[in-house]
Amino acid sequence: MIRDITIGQYYPANSVIHRLDPRVKLLGTIVFVVTVFFVNDLMGLALATVALAAVIGLSKVPLKYMLKGLKAIFILMIFTVLLNIFLTPGTELVHLGFLKITKEGLVLAGKTAIRLIYLIVGSTIMTLTTTPNHLTDGLEKALGPLKKIHFPVHELAMTMSIALRFIPILMEETDKIMKAQQARCADFESGNLIQRMKSLIPILVPLFISAIRRANDLAMAMEARCYHGGVGRTKMKPLVYALRDYLAYLLILVYILIWTGVKVWL
């Protein structure tokens, strides 16, 4: 399960999606997430499917690698689907004691599952095709106008960059701790839910200690290098829009117009 978490990981490849400006990918991800969240019809779902399939194909990231990230939310997805199936009122199809399955519940459960899958895959594409440094620079550049109202843009971007960097590091550390505990005959898979939660204590304690130690080392390293925030700092590779970025913006605008037209028409 730990190895299946792909959030925060970067997949190197030579694709047009990798070469896009991170600001374009941030905007595209936000637009896709918002539109998928409001999808209620087959036409909107088909449009989102075509857009997602096109981006996956252009990214040159294996679909199997992207779908690995869904294993981490599998339990949440099943729980959400079951709640929608049994607690949605409507035309009753099956009656099981105090529970009943309705036609509307099945439709809503299917839409919810598809939304969760599309949201995870769509968000994962951005992190798989963008390095943490580029993602931080893009976020800081996009939120640059907020500096006029003294919003801590650089601090927010730096915090997000550190969080993304620490995700794969902490996952690797968790995997090492689990293997060390299993070598000492620890069992994490047998027993009921409460017993499994108790068995995680030997993992969480050293993991928190390791995370605090890493955070302290990082803070000391930043202080030793006289880090004082983003005032007056320059970029080794400043972000500059290319022709492909403007074309990507145009495609995002076309997607928004088509999606809006579909919503208005239906």
pLDDT tens sequence across 123-170 = 888 888 988 788 888 888 888 888 788 788 877 888 877 877 787 788
Does residue 243 register a pLDDT over 80?
yes
CB 199 within 8 A of CB 188: yes
Q: At residue 6, does pLDDT exceed 80?
A: no
Mean residue pLDDT of the chain comes to: 82
- Neighbour count for residue 23 (Cβ, 10 Å): 21
Cα separation, 200 vs 144, in Å, equals 42
The answer to whether residue 168 is domain-embedded is no
Query: Is residue 225, in this structure, part of any structural domain at all?
Result: no
Residue 201 confidence (pLDDT) above 60: yes
* Burial of residue 7, with CB atoms counted within 10 A of its CB: 0-12 exposed, 13-18 middle, 19 or more buried: middle
Answer whether residue 59 shows pLDDT above 60: yes
**Is 161 a domain residue?**
no
For residue 223, being part of any structural domain is answered with no
- Written as six digits, the tokens of 69 are 């990230």
Range of the structural domain that residue 121 is part of: 1-130+239-266
What's the number of domains the chain is made of? 1
Could you tell me the pTM of the whole model? 0.75
Q: Give dist(CA 40, CA 263) in Å, integer.
A: 9
State the average pLDDT over residues 237-262.
90
Residue 200 placed within a domain: no
Please report the pLDDT score of residue 209 as a whole number.
87
Question: Distance (Å, rounded) from C-alpha 209 to C-alpha 202?
Answer: 12
Residues 111 and 88: their CA atoms lie apart, in Å, by 13
Calculate mean pLDDT across residues 202-224.
86
Does 114 fall in a domain?
Answer: yes
Reduced to 3 states, what is the DSSP secondary structure of residue 252?
A: helix
Within-domain flag for 157 = no
**Domain-located, residue 221:** no
Taking residues 115-125, what's their average pLDDT? 87
